[in-house]
Amino acid sequence: MDLYNESQKRKLEFTTRRHFLKQCTTGLGGIALSSLMGPQQLFATNTNPSFDPKNVPHFLPKAKRVIYLHMAGAPSQLELFDYKPELKKLHDLDCPKSLLEGKRFAFIQGTPKMLGPQFDFKQYGQSGTYISDALPHFSQIVDDVAIVKSMHTDEFNHAPAQLLLQTGSARSGRPSMGAWVTYGLGSENENLPGYMVLVSGGKNPSAGKNAWGSGFLPSEYQGVQCRNSGDPILYVSNPNGMSRDIRRKSLKAINDINESQYKEFNDDETLSRIAQYEMAFKMQISVPEVMDVSKEPDYIKDMYGAKHGEASFANNCLLARRLVEQGVRFVQLYHWGWDMHGDSKATSLDQGLKTKSEEVDQPMTALVKDLKQRGLLDDTLIVWGGEFGRTPMRENRGGVVMPYYGRDHHTEAYTIWMAGGGIKGGISYGETDEIGYYGIKDKVHIHDLQATILNQLGINHEKFTYNFQGRDFRLTDVHGRVIKDLIV
Amino acid sequence: MINTHNFTYLGFSIFILLAFTSCKQEKIDFNAQVRPILNKNCISCHGGVKQSGGFGLVFRENALGETANGKIGIFPGSPEKSEMISRVTHKNTEMRMPLERDPLSKEEINILTQWIEQGAEWEEHWAYLEPEKAEIPDLESAWGNGEIDAFVYKQMQAQGLSPNVEADSYDLVRRVYLDLIGLPPTTPQIERFLKDTSEKGYEKLVDSLLASPKYGEHWASMWLDLARYADSKGYEADRGREIWKYRDWVIKALNEDMPFDQFTIEQLAGDLLPNPTKDQIIATAFHRNTLNNGEGGTDNEEYRISAVIDRVNTTWEIWQSTTMSCVQCHSHPYDPIKHEEYYTSFAFFNNTSDWDVPSEHPIYREFDDIDQKELEHVKKWVASVASKEEVNKWERFVHVQEPKIRPEDFDEVSNTVHYNRAGQDYMVISNNAMIKLKNVPLKNVDRIYLNYNQHGKPKGRLVIKADSINGSVIGNLLLNKTQGFNNVPIKINTNSELADLYFVFESQNEDYKCFIDGFLLGEKLPAEDHKYHTEIYNKIDKLLNTRAKYTTPIMVEKSKDFSRVTKVFDRGNWLVPTDTVTTSVPKLLNPNNKQFKNRLDLAEWLVGDNNYLTGRVIANRFWAKLFGKGIVMTSEDFGTLGDKPTHPELLDWLALNFSNEWGWSVKKLLKTIVLSDTYKQSSVISKEAKDKDPYNQWLARSPRVRLSAEQIRDQALVVSGLLSDKMYGPSVMPHQPDGVWTVVYNNDQWITSEGEDAYRRGLYTYLRRSSPYPSFISFDASERETCLSRRINTNTPLQALITLNDPVYFEAAMNLAQQVDIIEGGKKEKVNAAYKKVMGKKISKEKSDILTHLLDDTEAYYSEHKDEAFELIQSDDLELASLTVMVNTMMNMDEFLVKN
C-alpha cells in the first residue's frame, strides 16, 4: 500500500471509528492481549480491494502463514535424509574424474575421496521413510511431512546461496520471501509486524540482514528481528522511568496535536501518522506479551525442550508457534552452524553434525505436533532446509586431508522437508543417484520451491511483480514452476 | 496530404471535404497517440524479448516483418493488409487482441488504423529526442515570478487548478533550510531572516544556504544513495571498507559547486585524465562502492564480473535513467536496445585491474607524515630534473602501484597453481616453476618489481630470461622469507624494446614454495647520472613497501598490453562467453555511431552536447528531491515504461539551462527552483485541490514530505543543541543497542564514538551493509547494496518507536528540557519556549494547552512516583523529568517530522 492509499484508508477510519487513545481514558495496563489482538485486520488487505494494487491472493490459499526453518550453513543430506548404502561401499575410494570435470567447488581441490554416510538409517512410519539415527524425534512424524530429496541450487557459497533461497537472486538487493509475502498479503494482526525473524546458533546467517531485508520493496515489509536480549524488538520499550501510563498520556498529546495539525493543513497523511502512533502503543503491549514464553504450560515447554532465557532454536520454535497463532504472516527462523567441513571437531560430521541435529530434532518435531494438535497445521506451511547440500566426497581443502570427516558445499542435490499448509504428508519427492551426487528424478530448483510456497499462499508467482529501476521483478525472477505433486 | 480514397467524396462541397479531411487526416503523433496504446495493450507480449506469434513492437523492422502465421503484422499504408488491425477488430474473442482482455476502444482502433494508413512511421521515444527550446507561456497572470511558474501555471490552468497562497514565512524558512542544507533553522536564524524585509531578503537567505558547508553534507546523501556508498564490503563477513575519502570528495565537490559535467567525468574516469590529481583519482572510488565477496571459497572472477555488471547498470541508471540491466540476459523487452549492446557497455568497465580480493586492490595509499615527507623529497627531486608530468607519474606510481601484471595476464605457466578463491588469490610457485609473459614493452623499463610472499626459510632464485626459455638472462633475484607481500625490484639489463619474458624459479630445496601476485614494470627514473639518483630509487622502493595510513579503493585501467577481452555472455551467464565485443554505447543513443575508446570517452559523451538525456535526468533528480517527486515520477526510468513528464516543456527548459546557460551548476539549478513561486506556495491543502489533484502532480500547492532518515536525526540534534559541526573523516558510531552486529566470521565491534563524534550528522554514521544503523533503515534509508534513485517513504509503528524511545532521541529531548527548565516563568512559558526551539515559531493556543496539560499530568504523576522520575533522568528534579516527557512528545509531532 502506498502512502497515499494508506492515508485514504486512515481517513475512512478516522471518520468511522472513535479514537483508540481517546477511548482509553483510564490507562491500558490492564487491557488483555486478546482484546488488543481482536479481529481488527486493519492491515489485512482485501477487506477493501480498492486499496490493493496487487490483487492477491490470486486464488483460494491453502496456507495462511509460513514458518521457514532455515538451517544456515547447509546440513548434510547424506547424514540425515538421503540414505545411500552404495556410498558406504565407495568410502575412501578416489572420486572418479567424471564427477569433477567442469565443476566448481568452494574448497575441494585435486582428487578427493568418497565419503560414506556417517550415521545409520532406519525406516519409519506408514510411509516407510528412511531417516537417520541423528533424528530420533523427527522420525516419529514422517507421515506428516513431505521430504524433497532432489533440491538443487546455482550457488556454492553461503551468502549468495542464502540470498538465492531467500530472495530469488544470489546478489544482494532483492526483497526476501517474507517481504514479498507480507507485501502481498499484509498482516493478520496490526499490533505485530507481519514478518518476524528469530535467530539462534550464536550467529546471524551468512547473508546477514539482507536475508530478511525488503530490498526494493518499501521498508515496512522488511523482517523485524526479535532479539534475544534487551528489547525483544528494538525500541519497543519505553525509556527507563517512563511508565506505560505516562507514555499513554504523551501519545494522547501527540495525537491531539496532530489532529489540530490535520485541521490546519488538511493532509490525510497526518491521519496515517495518528494511526502509526496508536499502533506503536499497541505494539508496545503485544510484543512483550507474545514474546514471553514463561506463561506456556510446562508440558508444552518440555515438548519443545524450551528453557527460559535461552537463545535457542527450541525457544524460537515455540515463539514461532505463538507468533503464527497471533496472526504473524511469515516467521523466519535461522539456526546457524551447519557448515561441516571437517576442519575441527565442531565442524565434523560425526560430532558437530550430531550436536546440531540434537539442537533441532526435538523442537522442529514439537512444532509440527503442536501446530497439529491446535488445528493450525492445516493452514500453516512449515519449510525446513539449508541453502545447499554437501558433496558425497570428503573435503580436501588445499588438496590435503582434513583432520575430521567433512563435506564441501554441493549445489546439485540436497534435501529439505515441508509440512502443513496443503502439502502432502508421508511422501518423498524426487530422487538422487546412488551416491547422492545428482538429482535424477523430479528435480526441484530453489525457484520452484519459492513458486510452490507462494502457490500455497494463493499467489501466482508469475503475476506477483513489483516495478523497480524500470523493471518488473518477481521473487522467482523469470523461472520457477509449482511442484503440483507436493500439494494435497 | 490527401489520401486517395478521400477522392470518392469529391461530390461533396469543397467546404465539407476540407472539414472532413482536416479532421480525419490530421497527422497521428506516434509518441502521443500510438505509443501509449501499444505500451498499455500490446508490448508485454509483443515486445523486444517476448514476441508472441513472431510479432514484436519494439523495433520497427520487427513490426513490419512477417509474423509466425506468414501474415504481415503492420503493412505501412494498408491497414487492411495489416494483421494487427485485423486482430484487434476480430469478432472471435479467442482471436481478438489483446487476448483475454477488454477490446480496444473504437477511438484507439481508429488511431492505429490511421497511423498505418499514414505510413506507420516510428518516432523516437520523447526522452531520446533533442529538447526543444520551448516558448515560455505568456500568461496574463499576477502569479509567478519566472519561467518555472509560467510552465507550472499553464498546466495548473489546464487542470482547472489555481495556485496556493505563499507559505507562512516560518514554514517557508524552515522548508528552504531543510531542503538546501538538510537542517532546520535555529530561532536566531529565523529571526534574522524575518527582520530583513528587503526585496531580496529571501534570495539572500538562499544564497547564504547554498554557500553553507552544510549544503554539501545534505546533498551528498542523495548522491551516496545513487553511488551505493557504504563502509563495508557486503556479503558474508561484510568486513569494513575504508572509502570515506570518497564520501568527503562528494561533499567537497558539491560545496564547491563543481560543474556537473566535471563531477561526472572525475568519478567515472578521473584516473584517465591527463596527470590526474589525487582528488581526481579518489573520485573514481565511486565505482569501487560495489560489493566485494570475501566468503571463503568464492570465485573471485565471478564476483569481479558481478561488480562490473553493477557498474554498468549503475552508470546507465544514474545518468541516463535507462534500464540497461534488462539487456544483460536478452534484448530489451520495451526499449530498442539489443542484448549485445549490454556488453559493449560492459567493455568500458571490464578493463580495470580490481579483482574482488579482500585487500581491495588497487588502492590509493596515503602515508603518515614521515613517509609523506620522504615522498615530497622524491617529488622535489624529480621536479628538479624532469617535467611536471614526470612528478605526477612517480607520485602515482608510489601511491597506487599499478598497472600490475597479475596471474590472469600470464601467458604460460608451469609448476604453479593459481589460487583464485576469496582472500587467497595468488600464484603458488613451486621449485622449477616458470611464468611466461608475452610481448612485454621494455622500452623505458630498467626494473621489474616482483610482488611476492614467502613464508618459509629455504632460499630460492628467480631468473628472468628474454625471448625464450633458453634466452639471455636479463635479471635475477634471490628469494628470501618476507613479511607478507613485498614489492622487490629486479634490475633489468636489455636493449630490446619488446620481448617475451620467462620467469624461472629455482631452489636447492625440493619443497620450495612462495606466492606471487604479479609484476610491476618500473620505468626509468630520469637523470640517471645525477648523484642522488640511487638514493631516490631507494626511497621509492622503500615507499612501495611502506604501510599506508589511509587507503581508498580506486579505479585503475589495465595497461593496454594486458587488457581484458570482453565477450557477450549467453543469457547473461558469465560461464558461457560468446562473441567478442568492444566499447560502444547502444545505437539508440548514438545514432551517429561515434567511436569510443575507454571510460573517459563514455564519461565525456554522457555530459556532451549530443546527449539529450543527462540534462533531463539530472535536473529531474534535483527537482524530485525538492518536491518529493520528479517531473518524471520514475526518476530511475525515462524509457518506454517509465512515467511521462507531467511538465515536459519545463523539464526541457531546466535541462537546457542546466547544461548550457548555467554551465552545469547545481547551485544555480537549485536556486532557480527555490526562488520560484511554485516552490514558495503554502502546503495547506484546499478541498478543491485535494479532489482534483490528490497526488499533487500539478503543483497547485507545496508538498508536505516527511523528512529523510538522516534529517530526522540531525534535526533532533540541532534543536537540542547537540549536533556537532565537525566535517569529514572516518565514519562514526553513535549509540546503538548491543547485539545489533552479530555477523558471522567477523569480530568487528560497534564501538560507540566518544565526544562530539557521537553527535555528528547522519551521513557520517558508519553504514554496514548487512546490518545498517537501525533507525535509518526504519526511516527508509538505503542499505546501499545497489544504486537507489528514490527512497520510498513508508509509515510504520517501528518508526514511531524510534523517535519515542531510541536513546538518541530521548537524550535530545532531555537536553532540550534542561535548557527550558532554567527559563524563568511557569509551565506555559516553558512549553512555549520549547516549541519555539523545536518548530522555530510561536505555538498555537490549542497546542500550548495540550502540552501544558500533559506537563501538569506528568508532574502530578511523578510527584507520586519519584523513583520513576529519578530513573528517567538520573536526577531528583521532578520538573525536569516532566519537561523531558513533554519535549519527547513534541519531537514526535507530525509537523516536526515533515516539512510544511
* pLDDT tens per residue across span B67-92: 888 888 889 888 888 888 888 888 88
b vs e for B778-800, b when ≥16 Cβ sit within 10 Å of the residue's Cβ? bbbbbbbbbbbbbbebbbbbbbb
Furthest C-alpha separation in chain B: 110
Q: Which of B22, B21, B63, B25 is nearest to B42 (CA)?
A: B63
Contact assessment for residue A43 and residue A272, using Cβ atoms and an 8 Å cutoff:
no
Q: Is the pLDDT of residue B502 over 80?
A: yes
Which residue type sits at B194? L
Cα–Cα separations (whole angstroms), residue B20 to B5, B11, B78, B80? 13, 13, 20, 21
Name beta bridge partners: B501: B437, B466
Helix (H) or strand (E) holding B2: none
On chain B, the residues whose CB falls within 8 A of the CB of A209 are: 770-772
Inter-chain CB proximity A253 and B850 less than 8 Å: yes
Query: Quick one: pLDDT band at residue A16, thresholds 50, 70, 90?
Result: low
Question: Chain B within 8 Å of A106 (Cβ-Cβ)?
Answer: yes
Query: What is the Cα–Cα distance from A119 to A454, expressed in whole angstroms?
Result: 35
Which residue type sits at B88? V
Task: Determine the residue of chain A that is closest to B290 in CA distance.
Answer: A172
In a domain, B94, yes or no: yes
Query: Quick one: pLDDT band at residue A1, thresholds 50, 70, 90?
Result: low
Residues 392-421 of A with CB under 8 A from B: 409
pLDDT in tens, A398-436: 777 889 999 999 999 999 999 999 999 999 999 999 999
Higher pLDDT, B383 or A219: B383
Domain map (residue ranges) of chain A: 61-186+329-356+379-457
Would you state the pLDDT for residue A49? 30
Last-in-domain residue among B123, B139, B164: B123
- CB-defined contacts A:B, below 8 A: 255
Inter-chain CB proximity A253 and B851 less than 8 Å: yes
- What are the residues whose beta carbons fall under 8 Å from the beta carbon of B380, sequence distance 6 or more? none
Query: What is the Cα–Cα distance from B324 to B613, expressed in whole angstroms?
Result: 14
Query: What is the Cα–Cα distance from B58 to B56, expressed in whole angstroms?
Result: 6
On chain B, the residues whose CB falls within 8 A of the CB of A226 are: none
Q: Which of B234, B236, B801 sits opposite A158 (nearest CB)?
A: B236
Cα–Cα separations (whole angstroms), residue A402 to A118, A408, B41? 16, 11, 61
Last-in-domain residue among B512, B547, B582: B547
Would you state the pLDDT for residue B22? 40
Helix (H) or strand (E) holding B243: none
Q: Work out the percent of chain A whose per-residue pLDDT is above 90.
A: 69
Question: Chain B within 8 Å of A224 (Cβ-Cβ)?
Answer: yes
Query: Average pLDDT of A263-277?
Result: 90
DSSP letters spanning B283-333: HGGGGG-S-----TT-BHHHHHHHHHHHHHHHHHHHHH---GGGGGTSS-S
Query: Quick one: pLDDT band at residue B17, thresholds 50, 70, 90?
Result: very low
Q: Which of B826, B817, B828, B809 is nearest to B873 (CA)?
A: B817
Inter-chain CB proximity B636 and A469 less than 8 Å: yes
What's the structural domain count of chain B? Answer: 3
Which residue type sits at B744? V
Q: Is the pLDDT of residue A52 over 90?
A: no
Query: Average pLDDT of B266-292?
Result: 97
Would you state the pLDDT for residue A50? 31
pTM of the model: 0.87
pLDDT in tens, B388-439: 999 999 999 999 999 999 999 999 999 998 888 887 889 999 999 999 999 9
Query: What is the Cα–Cα distance from B111 to B518, expressed in whole angstroms?
Result: 65
Which alpha helices (DSSP H) does A228-351 contain, by range? 244-265, 268-291, 298-304, 313-325
Query: Quick one: pLDDT band at residue B3, thresholds 50, 70, 90?
Result: very low
Cα–Cα separations (whole angstroms), residue A232 to A226, A285, A311, B739? 5, 12, 12, 11
**Is the domain defined by A61-186+329-356+379-457 classed in CATH 3.40.720?**
yes
Would you state the pLDDT for residue B657? 96
Q: Which range, A197-211, B55-69, B239-253, has the best average confidence (pLDDT)?
A: B239-253
Q: Which of A224, A221, A233, A234 is nearest to A174 (CA)?
A: A221
Q: Which of A446, A452, A447 is nearest to A424 (CA)?
A: A452
Higher pLDDT, B242 or B235: B242
Task: Determine the residue of chain B that is closest to A253 in CA distance.
Answer: B850
Q: Is the pLDDT of residue B11 over 60?
A: no
Task: Determine the residue of chain A that is closest to B329 in CA distance.
Answer: A478
Q: Work out the percent of chain A whose per-residue pLDDT is above 70.
A: 91
Q: Is the pLDDT of residue B745 over 80?
A: no
Helix (H) or strand (E) holding B710: helix B709-719
Inter-chain CB proximity B772 and A209 less than 8 Å: yes
Query: What is the Cα–Cα distance from A329 to B798, expressed in whole angstroms?
Result: 17
Would you state the pLDDT for residue A46? 31
In a domain, B486, yes or no: yes
> Beta-carbon neighbour count of residue B576 at 10 Å?
11
Inter-chain CB proximity B797 and A245 less than 8 Å: no
Q: Which of A210, A256, A276 sits opposite B770 (nearest CB)?
A: A210
Q: Please give the radius of gyration of chain A, using alpha carbons only, rounded to the nearest integer.
A: 24
Task: Determine the residue of chain A that is closest to B852 in CA distance.
Answer: A253
Task: Determine the residue of chain A that is closest to B696 in CA distance.
Answer: A4
Q: Is the pLDDT of residue A4 over 80?
A: no
Domain span including residue B445: 404-547
Mean pLDDT, rounded, of chain B: 91
Q: Which of B743, B801, B871 sits opposite A241 (nearest CB)?
A: B871
Higher pLDDT, B406 or B12: B406
Q: Which of B639, B775, B893 sits opposite A257 (nearest CB)?
A: B893
Residues 299-338 of A with CB under 8 A from B: 336
Query: What is the Cα–Cα distance from A189 to B763, expressed in whole angstroms?
Result: 35
CA atoms within 13 Å, Cβ hemisphere of A113: 14
Inter-chain CB proximity B684 and A265 less than 8 Å: yes
Question: Chain B within 8 Å of A233 (Cβ-Cβ)?
Answer: yes
Inter-chain CB proximity A236 and B805 less than 8 Å: yes
Inter-chain CB proximity A210 and B785 less than 8 Å: yes
Name beta bridge partners: B515: B428, B453
DSSP A432: E
Last-in-domain residue among B68, B89, B123: B123
Would you state the pLDDT for residue B48? 73
Inter-chain CB proximity A219 and B771 less than 8 Å: no
Mean pLDDT, rounded, of chain A: 88
pLDDT in tens, A362-396: 999 999 999 999 999 999 999 999 999 999 999 98
Q: Which of B745, B367, B304, B275 is nearest to B552 (CA)?
A: B367
On chain B, the residues whose CB falls within 8 A of the CB of A249 are: 854, 857-858, 861
Question: Chain B within 8 Å of A53 (Cβ-Cβ)?
Answer: no
pLDDT in tens, A294-311: 889 999 999 999 988 788
Question: Chain B within 8 Å of A440 (Cβ-Cβ)?
Answer: no
pLDDT in tens, B330-350: 877 777 888 899 999 999 999
CA angle B761, B764, B765 (to 5 degrees): 100
* Smallest Cα distance from A209 to chain B, Å: 5
CATH number at residue B438: 2.60.120.260
Which residue type sits at B325? S
> Predicted ipTM?
0.86
Q: Which of A157, A260, A265 sits opposite B900 (nearest CB)?
A: A265
Q: What number of H helices and E strands is found in chain A?
A: 13, 17
Which grid cell is B372?
A: 609523506
> Beta-carbon neighbour count of residue A314 at 10 Å?
23
In a domain, B642, yes or no: no
Inter-chain CB proximity A206 and B684 less than 8 Å: no
Which of B301, B356, B697, B795 to mutate to probe the A interface, most A CBs <10 Å? Answer: B795
Name beta bridge partners: A466: A473
Which of A36, A235, A264 to mutate to probe the B interface, most B CBs <10 Å? Answer: A235
Inter-chain CB proximity B637 and A469 less than 8 Å: yes
* Residues recorded for chain A: 488
In a domain, B455, yes or no: yes
Query: What is the Cα–Cα distance from A410 to A100, expressed in whole angstroms?
Result: 12
Residues 343-402 of A with CB under 8 A from B: none
Q: Is the pLDDT of residue B744 over 70?
A: no
CA atoms within 13 Å, Cβ hemisphere of B825: 12
Task: Determine the residue of chain A that is closest to B740 in CA distance.
Answer: A227
* Smallest Cα distance from B898 to chain A, Å: 10
Which alpha helices (DSSP H) does B628-692 contain, by range? 648-656, 666-675, 677-680, 687-692
* Smallest Cα distance from B673 to chain A, Å: 23
pLDDT in tens, B558-592: 998 899 999 999 988 999 999 999 999 999 899 88
